Amino acid sequence: MVRIPGMFKNFDELEDNLSLAELELLLSKARDVKHEEQRFAASLKGIDLDSHETESAEEAFEKVKRRAQAKLAGKSEEEIEFGEIGINLIVEE
């Protein structure tokens, strides 16, 4: 939770004394704190929530398209990627 400076008796008094700009700032900071908590919890599970920010929309679309092609062909994504550059991948099971 975000700490609010000053001493207030209740939320009504708080709402009466804060300006709209201050309320917007508090909301922004509360969202930042929540995002950091979620990022930390995800990192404990090995998930990087900020990884999507580094790739463009075209790159993300190409990944989805490659995954769909692999499923349609009954192959893995690696086989499709190598096939695009002319390498035949043989998977031994």
- Per domain, the residue ranges of the chain are 1-52, 55-84
Reduce the secondary structure of the chain to three states and give it as a string: CCCCCCCCCCHHHHHHHCCHHHHHHHHHHHHHHHHHHHHHHHHHCCCCCCHHHCCCHHHHHHHHHHHHHHHHHCCCHHHHHHHHCCCCCCCCC
| Position 4 confidence tier, pLDDT thresholds 50, 70, 90 | low
Average pLDDT for the chain = 80
| Position 12 confidence tier, pLDDT thresholds 50, 70, 90 | confident
Q: Which residues contact 60 (CB under 8 A, 6 or more apart)?
A: 52
> In the predicted model, is pLDDT for residue 81 greater than 90?
no
pLDDT per residue over 40-71, tens digit each? 998 898 887 776 666 677 888 888 888 898 88
